[in-house]
Amino acid sequence: MRLPITRAIRFTALALASLAAAPIFAEEACRPDRVEIRSDNGVARFRVELAVTPEERARGLMFREQMSSGAGMFFVFEAPGPRSFWMKNTLIPLDILYLNPDGRVQAIRTGKPQDTTSLPGGDNVQYVLEINGGLAARMGIAPGAVLRHPRIDPALAAWPCADSDPVAPAEGDGPLPEPATDAAGEADAGSAPAPVLQ
């Protein structure tokens, strides 16, 4: 008789432990240093650097020689409007995802290094996500996918952060550390995790 009771106690303990951990995962779902994109293929997560000020947005990812596949830059504008990016002084190919005020992807453009061709995203763009070129197509991210981040107004968000998540956190904002390199100068794949697709 003791064996079934022991199993029941263990099962109950595991169940309670998983319930206790659930709020931790919910709180971590929206963080200032991460975006999540939900598409027909699942959820992709990227560790991001924020570009919020005019100076940060103007510099963007210029002069960067590499970027981990799990990293990107999230541009936040005060209000929606027409947005167009170019690749002047940008050394790596990028996918540029233009998002409307509710966080829905409305256009994706792929930019070539050093190209000064204007890459328009439309008239109602409030957010832009830059990731490594070709990654959006490989992950099945297309117009209509939704992105969530604490900077997106929860009253408008197509995929809002949980009520307990901060709306516009100041702590933790700022640039990502430069990617770690090995002795040969190659990027350390562990410097930013690869995007997760669930």
Query: Mapping DSSP to helix (H, G, I), strand (E, B) and coil, where does residue 125 land?
Result: strand
Interatomic CA distance for residues 14 and 9, integer angstroms = 9
- Residue 122: predicted pLDDT: 97
**Strand duo 42-51 + 34-39: pairing:** antiparallel
Residues 87 and 17 in one domain: no
Residue 40 DSSP label: T
Q: How far apart are CA 178 and CA 192, in angstroms?
A: 10
* Judgement on whether residues 48 and 23 belong to the same structural domain of the protein: no
Structure confidence by residue, pLDDT tens digits, 100-134 = 999 999 999 999 999 999 999 999 999 999 999 99
One domain for residues 103 and 40: yes
56 in the same domain as 5:
no
pLDDT band at 28 (very low <50, low <70, confident <90, very high): low
Note whether 20 and 102 are same-domain residues.
Answer: no
The domain that holds 157 is classified in CATH as 2.60.120.1140
Asked if 100 and 165 sit in the same domain, the reply is: yes
pLDDT digits (tens, 9 = 90+) for 142-192: 999 999 999 999 999 999 998 534 333 333 333 433 333 333 333 333 344
pLDDT tens track for 11-25: 444 444 433 333 333
For the cut 50, the answer to whether the pLDDT of residue 94 exceeds it is yes
* Residue 25: domain span: 1-29
If we measure between CA atoms, which residue out of 63, 60, 43, 42 comes closest to residue 51?
A: 60
Give the separation between CA 65 and CA 121, rounded to whole angstroms.
25
**In this structure, are residues 164 and 31 in contact, taking their beta carbons and an 8 Å threshold?**
no
CA distances, 15 to each of 1, 3, 23, 171 (Å): 22, 18, 14, 33
Q: Is the pTM of this model over 0.95?
A: no
Q: In total, how many domains does the chain have?
A: 2
Q: Say which amino acid occupies 112.
A: K
Shared domain check, 36 and 18 = no
Read off the pLDDT band of 194 (50, 70, 90): low
